[in-house]
Structures are given as C-alpha cells and as structure tokens.
Chains A and B, each alone.
Chain A
Amino acid sequence: MNLEDIKKPENIVYRKTPLLTDAIMHYCPGCSHGTVHKIIAEVIDEMGIQDKTIAISPVGCSVFAYNYIDVDWQEAAHGRAPALATATKRLNPDKYVFTYQGDGDLASIGTAEIIHACSRGENIVVIFINNGIYGMTGGQMAPTTLLGMKTATTPYGRDAKLNGFPMVIAPMIAQLDGTAFITRQAVHTAAAARKAKAAIRKAFEYSMKDIGLSFVEIVATCNSGWKMSPVEANKWMVENMFAKYPLGDIKDVLK
C-alpha cells in the first residue's frame, strides 16, 4: 500500500486538537510548555467543557498561554494565579477553573498564594511546570533548581550554603488538608505524556467534586536555559530531575 493511499481523512488516528488555536507558539524548539498545552487542550476537548473552562495564565514563558488554548483566560500578576482562580471559582462554581504556573511563579514569588489556596481547599486545578529555572528572564536560579545545577545566577552550580536547598512543593502541600489530588508527571515520552494527560483529566474531574484543590506537577525541561539540545535536556531531566522529583501520585483523597 503506498503512502498517499494511507493519507486519507478516514485513516486519521491523531491530529492537532481544535482546542489549540492556529497561533504559532513562541516557545523554543522542544519546550515542554507546548506539549503540556496540547494535553490540557485535549482533555478539555474530550470532556466537552470548552465553554465551561476558565484558565489563569502566569508570568513566565507561558504568559501567552491564552493565545494557544481556546478557552476563557485571565492573566494574573506574577505568582497570584491561585488568588485569581479562587475568586473565579467561588463566583462561578459551575466552571472548571485552572491555573498554569511555572516554578518561578508558583514556588518563589507566589509561594504564599499557592499554600493558602491549598490550605483553603479551593476547588481549582493547578498545573505546575517545574523546569528548575526561570526560563523567561534568561535562566536564573529558581527555588526548584537542583544542587550543583548551573544557572545564570549560580554559574558555579547551586550551593546549599549560599543559595539554600531545592524546594519540593508537592509533598509540602500534600500535608495540607485542603488538597485532594497531588501528582507528579512528565511529558518527555509518549507514554509519559499519555499518563500526564490522564492525571490532568482526573484533576479536572476532581475540581467539580467539592473535595479541594488538585495539583498536577509536570517535571519539565528548559533546554535553552539549561543550554542543551531538546533531546539532551530530556535525558538530563530523567537522570537528574527525577531523582529529586520522582514521578507518581502523591495524594488522592478518593483512593
């Protein structure tokens, strides 16, 4: 059978979801943000909740996420997405409300907001992109930067004495009674991306059960900031990031 005979509309098994707009993403080649946007868009499409979803974008590389996923969005001040999501969800309890935040946004300038939103048990979904670095501003150290990891502000590697230890957010907020579902995923392989997608779907479903906040951490790469090729960055992530941030479910109150 020749290729042109296979390439017919009835044989399509995978195509870009219509929930992603046609805007060309501004992300660097191989950036995890694009893959995560895609699986979120697919979940919203498959659940049929496009007009019931309100998203909050952060400050960071994903500040323009509203150009790519075709739902209603608000843009929060740096780190304040959980506060905005709190108001949005309380005023619109029938809507699916999620924030999308980097580790600089969520774990540094926005630490207070995320912890208190978790503690209050807001019925929102938080997607947390942990790439261990401030991508947008040029690759400075983030709270999640690994010990020894070189960044623009830790040129000799992060040193615990000088820069403190990496902050591991997921197990920290798992101790708060307001959180319902906490998981850590990745999108570097097709199998991982499919699992991450299932986790995001579960988080969206939980956000309608009035049981508290659902938190999906995605261990991600910033190949430009890490100064590696996209493929090397994925390997480096598996070898280094997963040791400190292992994948898997951390809390599920319905299990």
Chain B
Amino acid sequence: MAFKGAIEVDTQRCKGCSVCVENCPTKSIGLSRSVNNKGYHYAEMIADTCIGCSNCAVVCPDSVITVYRVKIQ
C-alpha cells in the first residue's frame, strides 16, 4: 500500500526555523523564497513526493502544519 500526502502551512505563523525540513524523509519541504509579514522564509512543499507521514508537523514548534494523506493503489 502506498500513500500520497500534502501539507498546508500557516505561512504567517511560520518562523522558518527549518526543523521540519530536516525531519522530512522524502525531502518534500523547503523554505520559500518569499517572506511572510514578519520577514521569515516560511516552510512550503517543494516536491510532489510527500507521503503524509506527519513528521514535519510533529516537530514544528509553532504547530503551523496541517497534514493530509490518502491511500493510493
């Protein structure tokens, strides 16, 4: 069974600490080129390889990541 995932980041609350980037097993997250209202480069999906494991969201100190996951055959 395989999974496909997606994340949604509350970009205005993200402080761009990068801890999620380090914890992503599929290298699907990176920091944005643009900045939010506070001047932080926020986390965003950079590749379509997310498996919805939630690791990024679990380690996020500011709890800004929502994770979605579907089964694919």
Contact = CB atoms under 8 A, between A and B. Distances in A.
A1 B72 contact: yes
B7 to A, nearest CB: 9
Given A32-B61, A189-B23, A230 B69 contact: no
A15 B63 CA distance: 8
A1 B68 contact: no
Contact of B58 (A12, A31, A190): A190
A187 B72 CA distance: 31
Nearest to A189: B23
B12 to A, nearest CB: 9
Interface in A202-219: none
A61 interface: no
Nearest to A41: B63
Contacts of A188: 19, 59
A27 B61 contact: yes
A189 B59 contact: yes
13 contacts: A6-B52, A12-B67, A13-B5, A13-B54, A14-B58, A14-B65, A20-B63, A30-B18, A34-B63, A38-B61, A190-B58, A229-B18, A234-B22
A11 B52 CA distance: 10
B22 A14 contact: no
Contacts of B55: 189-190
Interface of B: 4-6, 8, 13, 15-19, 21-23, 40, 45, 48, 52-70, 72
By size class, the interface of chain A is 35 or more
Contacts of B57: 14-15
What DSSP secondary structure best describes chain B's contact surface? mixed
Interface string A188-201: 11100110000000
Given A6-B5, A30-B61, A12 B66 contact: yes
Given A187-B59, A190-B54, A190-B59, A30 B15 contact: yes
B49 to A, nearest CB: 12
Contact of B66 (A15, A33, A189): A15
Contacts of A16: 63-64, 66
Interface in A14-67: 14-17, 20, 24-25, 27-35, 38
A8 interface: yes
B8 A11 contact: no
Contact of A13 (B15, B62, B67): B67
A7 interface: yes
Given A1-B70, A29-B61, 12 more contacts: A3-B45, A6-B6, A6-B68, A13-B52, A14-B65, A15-B66, A16-B63, A25-B62, A31-B61, A32-B61, A34-B62, A189-B55
A69 B51 CA distance: 29
Contacts of B53: 190
Contact of B18 (A15, A28, A189, A231): A231
A6 B23 CA distance: 21
